[in-house]
Chains A and B, each alone.
Chain A
Amino acid sequence: MIRQSPLFIPSRRGVLASLAAASLVPRSAKAFSPAQRKFVFVLASGGWDPTRVFADGTASGIVATESGAVPRETNGLRWVHAETRPSVAAWFERYSSQAAIVNGLLVPSIAHEQCITLALTGTTGDSGSDWPSILGMAAMDRCAAPNLVLAGPSFPGINLPAVVQTGARGQLGDLITGGYREWGERSAPVLSAAGRSTLDAHLDARAAGFASAAGSERSRAQAQAYILAMQQRAKLSSLPAGFSFSPYASLDDAIAVGTEALSSGVSRVLSLSSPLSGDLGWDSHSTNDDLQNVLFEAFFASMLTLFQRLESLPGESAPTLLEETTVLLYSEMGRTPWLNAGTGKDHWPYTSLLLAGSGIRGGTNVGGFDDGWSGVPTNLATGEEDPTATRISCGDLGATLLALGDIDPGEWVPSSTPISALLA
């Protein structure tokens, strides 16, 4: 059953997918290649506490554990259950067979901005590009909004053309439909569609002339970026029937908009965050247990919505969107194993993440935490602790995601290795 937000209007494709899911129509056999794989990135902004869901700390002796929390294994995947988080339990019951957990990822900083940059690019420098933008750029030829950023940070670097932000109040939709004309008190007439086509043709010619007249490589690059942007804008202006960039006020609303964009081929990558505002909502320096409990419960309730939608919407190269989409749930840092004086937990450079969906070996736990709650050296092929190996790095995460997206990781993170233990 799809949990429909007020924004969700089933499209014809959506109806067909529902029928397919109910086996009322035969599924078509579609060829699938990693180059067509889609991605959803969901950031828990502020730093989550991995011991509440992903890593059992009861045996460590130093982790301030939560009363009532117990380790659990479902479909081979080990996680932490608490009665106060029924949505977490529901998610793992339903999707753990398609999910893998990475514990002990090293994010070598304890400052939010730097950790987010590291998690998404593998570096703190400004010259990097984030994984969503790299993956999006590879789909520029077919997607109008290759990396659709509905919420959260974006560090596109040279892959800027792939990034399309929307604005939470539906600003992108207004730009595309002309809804911006209602922001003020405009009474002046509007050019007709034919007039607008005339204008666009004139500007296409101007842009081409501008580029050919450029006297330097830098000018040519600027002009080409402008032409490419015009082409992308044209794609955005002719979106599939029934699709729109609606406003969204909640994560569930954003999921509705974003998954429709993936399903209809508008986007390859969807970037989301909790909370939507970009605030550091998970930064539980005080009352850690209360806050993280509520946040995890709400977060996984939304993830149920996300995965149910991925299951119910049709894919472009697989019967359902879930079968062609990899989902990454991550937070830029972990939290100290102990409680501070305010019963909060402070920043910690080792964290956990969850990958699920297309290309992921379900029921897999990779890495772990040692007695001091540092990440353990891990053999990336087996996922097991290995004293001869190194700790799992953000670069390894990036290499894994790029490999899943049919992009050579060596081009972007040459010193990192895909975590093959995660791959189906």
Chain B
Amino acid sequence: MIFWLACTTESPTESVEMSPLRLLNRASLDLRGVRPSEAELAAVQADPDQAEALIDDFVNDERFFERLVQLYHEVYLTETEGMDLRSDALTMDDPRQFYWEVGQEPLRIIAEVARQDLPYTEIVLADWTMATDQMAEYFPLELEAGTEHWRRARYTDGRPAAGVAATNGLWWRFTSTETNANRRRANALTTVLVCENLLDRPIGFDQDVNLVDEEALRDAIRTNPSCISCHVSLDPVAANLFGFYWSNFTSPTQGLAYHPGRERYWYERLDGVAPAWFGTPTGGLGGLGRQVAADPRFPDCAAEQAFEGLLRREVQLGDMAEVSGVRDEFVSRGLTLRALYSAVVDSPAYRTSDVDTELGVPLKFMPPDILNTSVADLTGFVWQRGEMPVLLSDRYGLRSLGGGVGGITVTKPATASSATTVLVQVALADEASAYVVSTEQSLAVADRRLFRETDFVESAESAVSGQAAALHLRVLGEPPSAAEEEALVALWQELYAVEGSVPLAWQGVLEALLRDPSYVLY
């Protein structure tokens, strides 16, 4: 727990921390993608002081590492079937599913760094990557033995050690062209690693520059202030990436392996601009990774990204003191992602209760990946279409419709409900409640997840109220008030009257809870 007094005394409005039970729910959803377990809820109900210790431990949960994959997809935009590639090099039924998996490669490196509790710098220094069996069929990889779907691997094509910057996944998503000369890729790197999106700077097209004179244009890139502001940073970074230069940028054939022989193409393609990172020569991709790791903006950016990922809004000027505190905690605790995310959860803005403050976020809209994992955890229902998770795919499912980041045309998450997010919530609630009611009717009580206080036959009010209260607690993460319990029982009775079936009445009650505003707004 960080001591935040210095920050809070400067806030224009006094911040009040949310209740331990609410905080437990919020942190569990954000860090693990699930509601707190029954035991965790019971522990905090019995002793609210236990919440902090439980929350501190969430970053050691295996589900935290999976959650990181989704949080960093919103930054890297790589987990997508929409990569602009032809599939001529791939002999498989559906290359789009393969693209989706390949795009996870850099995200899986980040998750593995967290899992092993390594310093965050490893994401740009690692001489290993993460891969699947299918990736190893196509890429020059030595995949470690094991049964896990994602395992550590090493490329055998001579690519330098540079962590995420040396992954096929990143460069399949961000291709380039002959004349673009890796500049698009360079900007992707500066954006995700040091939060410098050079393209956000509007370009003042200077009438003095003769745009039709190629020589003059090349000269302007190095001498004209409105050109220099981007190119002086962009071109040297691009020069590091020519081992990933493809002779045909629409075909992944060229992108299966790294090309050491092309590393010096920068001399010709970038008019002699040598590889560097914001003014410091790198000598190539491996050196680039080391320079990024030494760049003070690297931990700053990591803190900003983690803050935005958990608060579900962009960092504002007024946040700088808190983000700075998160960054300091991150650095002082060895640059581990566990420390970083714990620090964000400890920040006042994250914990603000439902009062008007300048920076607090008392209610957040649930992104589809959390909807996916939390409902699966509660009900056992895993929503797939074929082999693809419905809520993590646009081509096969509902990711963008549910408010998520598709990665190509949708690059920012929704921060509030819309008609399609509600429709997605309705469909998932319908499917999941039908699945769990149908399944648990044939299970022994001890083996059930949710319906341990009904025999699916009894319809007396006394038999209904206990189960309704238990469902409320488990699904919404807090016990119902008397009025809420009464309303649930009334709903059950109305549904029973309409459907004439106890299981269907329970199915409806559970669906109502999974669609409740306090489920999706947390």
Q: Interface on A for B, CB 8 Å cutoff?
A: 62, 106, 108-111, 113-114, 118, 124-126, 144-145, 152-154, 160-161, 163-165, 167-169, 171-172, 175-176, 178, 180-181, 183-184, 186-192, 194-195, 198-199, 202-203, 205-207, 210, 214-219, 221-223, 225-226, 228-230, 232-233, 235-236, 277-280, 283, 285-286, 336-338, 340-342, 344, 346, 348-349, 372-374
Contacts and interface: CB of A to CB of B under 8 A. Distances in A.
Contacts of B207: 374
Interface string B14-29: 0000000000000000
Nearest to A214: B354
B512 A218 contact: no
18 contacts: A109-B203, A114-B199, A152-B409, A172-B401, A176-B423, A183-B385, A184-B431, A188-B437, A190-B434, A191-B504, A191-B508, A198-B508, A210-B521, A222-B364, A226-B416, A229-B421, A342-B178, A372-B212
Given A126-B412, A161-B419, A278-B82, A167 B394 contact: yes
Contact of B362 (A188, A216, A232): A216
B157 interface: no
A167 B424 CA distance: 12
A180 B432 CA distance: 12
B356 interface: yes
Contacts of A230: 417, 422
A22 to B, nearest CB: 37
Given A229-B419, A344-B179, 18 more contacts: A62-B212, A108-B203, A168-B395, A169-B395, A175-B424, A180-B431, A183-B385, A188-B434, A189-B501, A189-B503, A189-B507, A199-B508, A202-B487, A207-B517, A223-B363, A372-B210, A372-B211, A374-B211
A133 B397 CA distance: 23
Interface in B459-507: 487, 491, 494-495, 498-499, 501, 503-504, 507
A202 B512 contact: yes
Contacts of A222: 363-365, 416-417, 521
A172 B420 contact: yes
B150 to A, nearest CB: 25
B211 to A, nearest CB: 6
A36 B517 CA distance: 33
A216 B179 CA distance: 52
Nearest to A370: B207
Contacts of A207: 517
B24 to A, nearest CB: 19
Contacts of B422: 226, 229-230, 232-233
B54 interface: no
B317 to A, nearest CB: 13
Contacts of B205: 106, 108, 349, 374
A223 to B, nearest CB: 6
B202 interface: yes
B419 A144 contact: yes
B362 A175 contact: no
Nearest first, the 5 A-B pairs at minimum CB distance are A232-B419, A188-B434, A215-B354, A229-B417, A188-B438
B417 A226 contact: yes
Given A161-B418, A338-B212, A189 B494 contact: no
B480 to A, nearest CB: 12
Given A167-B398, A180-B431, A198-B498, A108 B508 contact: no
A169 to B, nearest CB: 7
A62 B214 CA distance: 12
B384 interface: yes
A189 B418 contact: no
A338 B212 CA distance: 8
Contacts of B507: 188-189, 191
Nearest to A341: B178
A217 to B, nearest CB: 6
A207 B491 CA distance: 15
B423 A172 contact: yes
B516 A195 contact: no
A353 to B, nearest CB: 18
A420 to B, nearest CB: 25
Nearest to A205: B487
A180 B427 contact: yes
Interface in B351-377: 353-357, 360-365
A160 B418 contact: yes
Interface residues of B, number: 86
Nearest to B408: A278
A8 to B, nearest CB: 24
Interface in B390-439: 390, 394-398, 400-401, 408-412, 414-424, 426-427, 430-431, 434-435, 437-438
Contacts of A144: 419
A97 B394 CA distance: 40
B204 interface: yes
A114 B200 contact: yes
B511 interface: yes
B435 A188 contact: yes
Contacts of B178: 285-286, 340-342
Given A183-B390, A372-B210, A171 B512 contact: no
A145 B427 CA distance: 18
A235 B419 CA distance: 9
Interface string B173-201: 00001111000100100000000000111
B520 interface: yes
Most chain A beta-carbon neighbours within 10 Å: one of B187, B418, B491, B498: B418
Contacts of B410: 153-154, 165
Contacts of A190: 430, 434
Nearest to A111: B199
Nearest to A373: B212
B518 interface: yes
A215 B204 contact: no
A125 B44 CA distance: 43
Contact of B498 (A180, A194, A226): A194
A172 B426 CA distance: 12
A118 B203 CA distance: 11
A191 to B, nearest CB: 6
B57 interface: no
A202 B491 contact: yes
Given A167-B394, A191-B511, A283 B177 contact: yes
Contact of A225 (B187, B357, B417, B512): B417
Contacts of A62: 212
B61 interface: no
B298 to A, nearest CB: 22
B416 A160 contact: yes
A336 B437 CA distance: 62
B423 A233 contact: yes
Given A176-B423, A198-B495, A215-B355, A232 B418 contact: yes
Most chain B beta-carbon neighbours within 10 Å: one of A199, A336, A373: A199
Contacts of B180: 285, 346
Nearest to A62: B212
A236 B498 CA distance: 24
Contacts of B511: 191, 199
Given A164-B419, A195-B495, A217 B212 contact: no
Contacts of A110: 203
Given A113-B199, A199-B495, A278 B409 contact: yes
Contacts of A279: 82, 84
A152 B422 CA distance: 22
A222 B430 CA distance: 23
B42 to A, nearest CB: 25
B481 to A, nearest CB: 11
A176 B398 CA distance: 13
A154 to B, nearest CB: 7
Most chain B beta-carbon neighbours within 10 Å: one of A106, A198, A337, A348: A198
Contacts of B142: none
B385 A184 contact: yes
B418 A109 contact: no
B515 interface: yes
Nearest to B436: A188
